[in-house]
Chains A and B, each alone.
Chain A
Amino acid sequence: MPLSVPISYTRYLDDHGQPSGELPGWVDDPQLLLDFHRQMTLVRAFDQKCVALQRTGQIGTYASTLGQEAIGTALGRAMTEADVLIPYYRDTATQLQRGVAMQDILAYWGGDERGSAWTAPGALEDFPICVPIATQACHACGVASAFRIRQQPRVAVTTCGDGATSKGDFLESLNLAGVWQLPVVFVVNNNQWAISVPRSLQSAAPTLAHKALAAGIPGEQVDGNDVLAVYDRISIAIERARAGKGPTLVECVTYRLGDHTTSDDASRYRDADELSEAWKHEPIGRLQRFLHGQGLWDEEKEQQLQRDLGERINAAVEAFRSLPEADPGAAFDHLFAELPERYRQQRDELLIRAAALGGSAHD
């Protein structure tokens, strides 16, 4: 018997930037729309720079966010400073919107622990990037539980990819969040590919949002390439959680226009036609066309914006490059309030070895 429980799907702008129905009232805020556009454009340019820095050996493996700029930008904007982001590795856009500096993001991908010790006031208690798949969903339930225990009107927001929704960690977290009615929002970046596993082979569920139903929490889909839809629905989910009405799962349907990471080559398993079709739906052009239609944008402004962003990015890269060398023991510094004895021994051993290597590391 096929499952036929309807899941809502929200989209305000179509591929041509035309409203596909009535727009929410908050859209009458030109500055907000321009902010979205500016931020998404920054994300894309910065993302491209990150890939180039990896290709020239200046940072390590990097997970590009190409094509998924709307999700993180809208999500970061919908959260308040009091809320806590528990991100995964494809959250450059979210972190940037939360105020994390580009040079910190570069430091993280450059293997420097200081990249997760940012001082951005709006993101002080945000978690560092989580690379193990879906484990961050558990962390988010822990954070949300803490808010409940402290009786704080704050919300934990966690992100993951489509592949992560098949993991026990994710499903257990949904269950816990549902039964405890935790103030947490699960945002799924369904970009159709979990490295080389397509969405069709990931799950037989009609939508990933359906997974929320078994946990007794609301689940919905939004067009992840429509920044207005993502912002609108996630804002509602966050405020719902803040009001003590429990968790929500928001599945943002988008497309990974790049490789999984810089270690991947998607052309080996992905059809080129599928990719070029997906480019027609990408989020920045869509918003730009909408802004053009509203008389808020033109070619001159676009060129000026590209110049400004280029300068900002170059300055961030320079700041990253001039970061003094990290202490070799830094890997041990952020895990425990007090380092257990066995780790202390390991750290000391490492420092001795690092000192022995010092000649080649510092000359």
Chain B
Amino acid sequence: MKQFKLPDLGEGLQEAEIVEWHVKAGDEVAVDQLLVSVETAKAIVEVPSPQAGVISRCFGASGDLLHVGEPLVEFEGEGEDSGTVVGNLGHASGTSDLAADDFIIGAAPSSRDARPLPVMPAARELARRLGVELGQLEGSGPGGLVTVADVQAADTQPTAGEALRSVRRTMAKNMSRAHAEVVPVTIVEDADLHQWDAGARDPMVRLARAIARACQAEPALNVGFDGARLSITRHQHIDLGVAVDTPDGLFVPVLRDVGNRDAEDLRQGLARLRADVLNRSIPPRELMGATITLSNYGTLFGRYASPVIMPPQVAIIGAGVIREQAVAHQGQVAVHPILPVSLTVDHRAVTGGEAARFLKALVEDLQAAE
């Protein structure tokens, strides 16, 4: 069967809608006789017959959308398909007898397929993630450029769930970015707190001091790492990010210069940060610039963890629940309060040896009586 396929009726048009057929199967037509009226994005166009012959089939009915390269009519008799688009396009392979319903799927081979579709890089990435087929899109940008909005509009599977907002949205984005970039290694140890004064159990202030001491012992973990330029910035001060859980999500306010502050100063600073976060009155600058982070989930539940490092930081310390535990002490089994400590480092910037030395200094400071 010889098929006449829908040509590009304008300049770079992709499709046309059938308005009205002027012939039907069985009709004999002459060259240039009017076959069908179609509407493109630009015009209503009368399509004449490219040849004389008897029509054996008309594809599609009024209102149907046909893509360029799809069959329009079929002529009786043998013969190769007539060209569609100007120039030197190939012909459809084989002579498949298309069922009336599936002509809309798949166009004839066309040089258009080899042409790069103009797509914004961000839109191309989004389409890849959403599984949107770019080839089907008509770009709304200049020169038919496919934009992010086009891809979003073409996403036929919008999420059924609730969209993330504000703090949780920021958390999701930051965590994705961190996870994509950081190479995390976790090492864990227990700190035996039996030397602590039984009444004075404020692990936050001790943890802050221990981290400061550990940074002084092993400065390699108090640095900023630029993965793109592969460079390290050594920090003069230790600014400790303190992860705070709130109903709205995760906040990490920053306790400044923990290396040069006494215990009382740290206690007051921590109390102020917590209160500000819970009141949602913390200024944005107080949430920026941490050089190392502490996640004290010990106030909640859990023993060890591998919390996520936020670049450019290279280390995060996790503190679990202090519990009474049977330990070997001076050749005897004894029951001591034990604080489980987890240290996660970015192995791109930190060696295993540096991590271990840091953790050792941290645990030793925690275990000290004062």
Identify the A interface with B (CB < 8 A): 48-49, 52, 54-61, 110-111, 259, 262-265, 267-268, 325-326, 353, 357, 359-363
Contact = CB atoms under 8 A, between A and B. Distances in A.
Given A264-B42, A363-B90, A363-B91, A58 B111 contact: no
B86 A55 contact: no
B43 A61 contact: no
A48 B31 CA distance: 12
Interface of A is mostly: loop
Interface stretch (B8-16, B196-204, B240-248, B338-346): B8-16
Interface string B7-50: 11111000000000000000000001000000000111111111
Contacts of A60: 11, 86
B10 A56 contact: no
A55 B8 contact: no
Contact of B114 (A55, A268, A357): A357
Contact of A56 (B47, B90, B111, B114): B47
B111 A357 contact: yes
A90 B86 CA distance: 20
A326 B86 CA distance: 12
A111 B87 contact: yes
Nearest to A317: B31
Contact of B50 (A58, A259, A265, A325): A58
A61 B10 contact: yes
Contacts of B114: 353, 357, 360
A57 B85 contact: yes
Contacts of B85: 57
A52 B4 CA distance: 14
Contacts of B7: 54-58
A361 B88 contact: yes
8 contacts: A56-B7, A56-B82, A57-B6, A263-B11, A265-B43, A265-B44, A360-B114, A363-B90
B83 to A, nearest CB: 6
B33 to A, nearest CB: 10
Given A57-B8, A59-B86, A326-B88, 13 more contacts: A48-B32, A52-B32, A56-B82, A57-B7, A57-B83, A57-B84, A57-B85, A58-B83, A263-B42, A357-B111, A360-B89, A362-B90, A363-B91
Given A55-B45, A58-B50, A265-B42, A361 B111 contact: yes
A362 B10 contact: no
A263 B43 contact: yes
A52 B48 contact: yes
A67 B69 CA distance: 33
Contacts of B6: 57
Contacts of B77: none
Contact of B11 (A49, A61, A110, A259): A61
A166 B341 CA distance: 80
B88 A362 contact: yes
A326 B84 CA distance: 17
B109 interface: yes
